[in-house]
Homo-oligomer: A and B are copies of this chain.
């Protein structure tokens, strides 16, 4: 668990927003046409549109977030879906409680 890296990721408002939106995808994104559910989260395109940033930027944000474990990626057909990794998030906070 690289606390410093996670903190860096959490020091950007857009990335905080993304993490927040992913808590309740149904409140922030249209249901995906093909899947009709959010079991594996939300696809890159929807997140980028919502955030108002380019595909390349959102992709880079998401992969950095995935790298430290905050979110997980699942591929369904053409799309990659991202969702929160609640366990890692919980661990992170737990770690802060003990060490900050």
Copies in the complex: 2
Contact B4 A7 (CB under 8 A): no
The A16-65 residues at the B interface (CB cut-off 8 A) are: 16, 19-20
Q: How far is the CA of A4 from the CA of B10 in the complex (A)?
A: 7
Interface size class of A (residues with CB under 8 A): 10 to 19
Partner of A93, one of B4, B11, B93: B93
Judge whether A96 is part of the interface by a CB distance below 8 angstroms.
yes
- Using Cβ atoms and an 8 Å threshold, which residues of chain B touch A100? 10, 19, 89, 92-93
Nearest to A84 among chain B residues (CB) is B100
* A19 CB → nearest B CB, Å: 7
Q: A89-B100, A96-B96 are in contact. List 10 more A-B contacts (CB 8 A).
A: A4-B16, A7-B11, A7-B16, A8-B11, A10-B11, A10-B100, A20-B99, A92-B100, A93-B96, A93-B100
